[in-house]
Chain A
Amino acid sequence: MTTVFKPKTTDVLVFKTNIRYKKDISRVAPLLSAEEKIHCWNVDLGDIDKVLRIEAEELTTGQVTQLIQQAGFQCEELTD
């Protein structure tokens, strides 16, 4: 039997946010988890920039910013 691997185009997107506490995470969680393009995500509360890291397929930074704003937070993409 041969296994066919689907080519995956998973991207890692990272954002600086003002999500500071666990209770903040529970506010963005329903929105992020509902988005089907997102495979997994986490917020690095240990880092100064409170980095939101998302593994997703064909998701734009604009879409993420919108989702985060819906939950009442700000985020901006981390770039070079």
Chain B
Amino acid sequence: MEMIVKDGFDGLSMQKLAKAAEVSPATIYIYFKDREDLILQVFEEVNGEMLKATIKGFDPDMDFNEGMKVQWFNRAEYFTKHQLEVQFFEQLRYSPLYDKTISIASKAFGESMSKFYHNAIDRKDLLPLPFEVFWATAFAPLYQLVKFHTQGRSYVTKNFRLTDEMMEQTLKLVLKALKP
């Protein structure tokens, strides 16, 4: 994954990878059919880890505000500590392989989120919205904060660090916006 992030997909050759891993190219080809197969299998594993980190301590039956808070802190924790993985996901997003990654993405996670979402609507904690509107409102503010944190600066602050207080403050606004 480090090599993919550094050299890009086009720069990845099994020869180079084999050298870095100190195995023969033949060995790599025993496990992977081709380059695409390798990238998709790496994606599957990394994506699985990311989702596992996201739902740590999360339960779809949780109160909406509580569940959102758990996910916000989990996502912030993962994305600030796994820069390499984040870059890898970004690269995939703009590659022709992206369509294939969507079909791999975990069904269990989707079902859990869907249950959480519908519970919240039934309990009148959440406005019924098109999925994309809900998702953008619920998580995009968090991702922008994480981005500032990763860059270490924002448009106006030279040394920016994301704090728990800031996250809680932002989450409060988001929850207010999503309330019926």
Across the interface, A47 reaches (CB within 8 A) one of B24, B26, B30, B35, namely: B35
- CB contacts (< 8 Å) of B26 on chain A: these are 12-14, 78-80
CB under 8 Å from chain A, chain B span 1-58: 12-15, 24-26, 29-30, 33-36
- Minimum Cβ distance to chain B for residue A78 (Å): 4
Q: Is the CB of A44 within 8 A of B30?
A: no
Inter-chain contacts of A47 with B (CB < 8 A):
12-14, 34-35
Cα A80 to Cα B29 in complex, Å, equals 13
Q: What is the number of residues of chain A that contact chain B, defined by CB distance less than 8 Å? A: 14
Q: How large is the interface on B (under 10, 10 to 19, 20 to 34, 35 or more residues)?
A: 10 to 19
- Minimum Cβ distance to chain B for residue A17 (Å): 13
Residues of chain B within 8 A (CB-CB) of A80 are 24, 26
- Minimum CB distance partner of B28 in chain A: A14
With A12-B29, A44-B34 known as contacts, the answer to whether A49 contacts B24 (CB < 8 A) is no
- Cβ distance B23 to chain A, nearest Cβ, rounded Å: 8
The answer to the question of A42 belonging to the interface, with a C-beta cut-off of 8 Å to chain B, is: yes
Q: Which residues of B contact A78 (CB under 8 A)?
A: 15, 24-26, 29
C-alpha gap A52/B36 in the complex (Å): 14
Task: Flag if B24 contacts A51 (CB, 8 Å).
Answer: no
Residue of B nearest to A43 (CB): B34
A15 to B62, CA, bound (A): 54
Shortest beta-carbon distance from A57 to chain B in Å: 15
Residues of A within 8 A of B25 (CB): 14, 49, 51, 78
The answer to whether residues A48 and B33 also contact, given A78-B26, A79-B24 and a CB cut-off of 8 A, is: no
Q: Mark A1-44, 1 if CB is under 8 A from B, else 0.
A: 00000000000111000000000000000000000000000101
Which residues of B come within 8 Å of A, CB atoms?
12-15, 24-26, 29-30, 33-36
- CB-based closest 5 A-B pairs: A44-B34, A46-B35, A48-B13, A80-B24, A14-B29
Q: Which residues of A contact B (CB under 8 A)?
A: 12-14, 42, 44, 46-49, 51, 53, 78-80
25 inter-chain pairs at a CB distance below 8 angstroms, sorted by A residue, are A12-B26, A12-B29, A13-B26, A14-B26, A44-B14, A44-B33, A44-B34, A44-B35, A44-B36, A46-B36, A47-B34, A48-B13, A48-B15, A49-B13, A49-B15, A49-B25, A51-B14, A51-B25, A51-B29, A51-B34, A53-B33, A78-B26, A78-B29, A79-B24, A79-B26
